Chains A and B, each alone.
Chain A
Amino acid sequence: MSPQDIQAIVLSLKVATAGTLLSLPLGIATAYVLVFTRVPGRALLEGLVNLPLVLPPVVIGYLLLLLFGQSGALGPVLRFFDLRIIFTLKGAIIASAVVGFPLLVRSIRIGMEGIDEQYLQAARTLGAKWWDSMYTIILPLSGPAIVAGMTLMFARSLGEFGATIILAGNIPGVTQTIPLAIYEYTNTPGGDSMALSLCLVSMGLSFVVLLISEASARSFRKR
């Protein structure tokens, strides 16, 4: 395995970890709003959150490019803060976060919907305010779902290709994650065996993620 491959693996892990962790608070908040509140525009929010699930990743990448590009909608804001998103690690993280976000929200949401509302009623009659019951009842009870959502999103981020290549490009050492590296090998004469070894790494990583997810689900059940 070449140093470039190692870099790709490390980058993949970095992107997936950062994307998942940064999305987590927003994912929990979004699921909470969808399940426990009756704010107007909920249907719209739901549609927006789920859109990346059905759109081709390339389309998402292109839309993100329109948003974050130098002449994009957020261009002036980014220039003001002297930020560059496209063709950077930040871009790769944003691309994989957007693509994986619906999976995270979906899973947390299912978990929250499974919580008997009467636990919350009991908590409130015992003096808990909404944020109090959020921390003491909702989050602990949706713990398995949160872990499952994070796992799904992490795995999805590891494999993210379409949106990333458009927004962040395929720059070795900067934005080249495992799928992008595999893509490059397949376009290189004689790169088959290198591609295959990265495929094996990819499978190994995904398998480890699944194992961790299963183990955490078991430990929740045991309590």
Chain B
Amino acid sequence: MLFEVDVEKKIGDFSLEVAFSLSGKKYGIFGPSGSGKSTLMHILAGLLKPDRGRIVLDGVPLFDSDRKIHLPPQQRRVGVVFQHSHLFPHMNVRRNLIYGWQRTPAVKRRITPEAIIEALNLEHLLERGVNRLSGGERQRVALGRTVLSCPRLILMDEPLTGLDQELKFQIIPYLRKVLEQFGIPLLFISHSLEEIRLMTDEVLVFEQGRIEQRLAVEDLARRHLVSGSRGYANLLNLTSPRPHGDLWSYQWGSSQLILAEPGGSGDNLFVLGAKDITLFKRHPVATSARNLLPCLVSDVFGDGNRMGVALDFKGSHLVSQIVPESVRELDIRKGVEVVAVIKASAFRRLY
């Protein structure tokens, strides 16, 4: 995919002026509410006409003010998952799902309803009216409906906002799985750093209708360790939990971690606060913590009273957050060895 955007739009006092080009798979648009993210989404989908500029998807101009091209939404083949699902209230789940599919030319149907119904686990809901679905089920149906229209690109506008934490993490694996399985590029709009980190690889940071920065999602998270109020969270994908006394042992890359929480088969995503990783200069002789990982410091970043220490443990990565005083006392710098100590109970399971 190659998606080139260079547009301007003025609405009252607010002006949007963005230019970017995307070529990878999963991008995030991150910014506070009111920064123009949704306006941009409407422009890209063709629901709002920019004042000037051009939008080109894989060489096909969707909008070009010079050449007077403005493709209507139904001709763009750009899918949208809206914040409030917008399932058609007078249709059941099945009819909602196939609405876009029926309107896709047969030669462009790359995905079958059966595959989506299975991937999203919707079989038992097909005949149900959409008003009798839970919030999470609604978003799953909305996602399936959009994917079934076989779009060249999917825009998601805060699709998880309004769902509670637990539901959110039930949906995310579905989102990731479907996008991966059917190979559809994603532009994910959100004001939640957590969602952006879970869903995307690269981020455009939005501020008052402008793109402030463009960076890898990991860099954005590290930046928030320094400036944000909530610190940095390590996201760990752990597999094959096995009982380990009262605790559980998980596979993490090529090594093991001991956790208090049981998990399921397949992928388990855990969050571990950077503050919950204590660093020791030498191996502590006796400690109550269950995980002692000899690591190599790969980076020290940040200033002020919060610093991040990036750690490399047998090829896996962690970030620990400590105060500058500790950095000085322990003489932590790039290349030195430290022991990261983590309690078994410090991990919180997301899904």
Contact = CB atoms under 8 A, between A and B. Distances in A.
B73 A121 contact: yes
Contacts of A126: 74, 79, 99-100, 103, 145-146, 149
Nearest to B86: A122
Contacts of A123: 88, 99
Contacts of A18: none
Nearest to A115: B89
Interface band, chain B? 20 to 34
A143 B89 CA distance: 13
A116 B89 CA distance: 11
Contact of B73 (A118, A124, A140, A141): A124
Contacts of A119: 86, 88-89
Contacts of A121: 45, 47, 73, 80, 82, 86
Given A125-B47, A223-B129, A116 B86 contact: yes
Give chain A's interface secondary structure class. helix
B238 interface: no
Nearest to A124: B73
Nearest to B78: A125
B90 A127 contact: no
B138 to A, nearest CB: 12
Interface string A104-136: 000000000000101101111111110010001
B72 interface: yes
A102 B90 CA distance: 27
B15 interface: no
A137 interface: yes
Interface string B151-192: 000000000000000000000000000000000000000000
15 contacts: A116-B86, A118-B84, A119-B86, A119-B89, A122-B80, A123-B88, A125-B46, A125-B78, A125-B80, A126-B103, A126-B146, A128-B74, A129-B74, A132-B103, A136-B99
List 4 tightest A-B contacts by C-beta distance, closest first: A127-B103, A126-B100, A124-B73, A122-B86
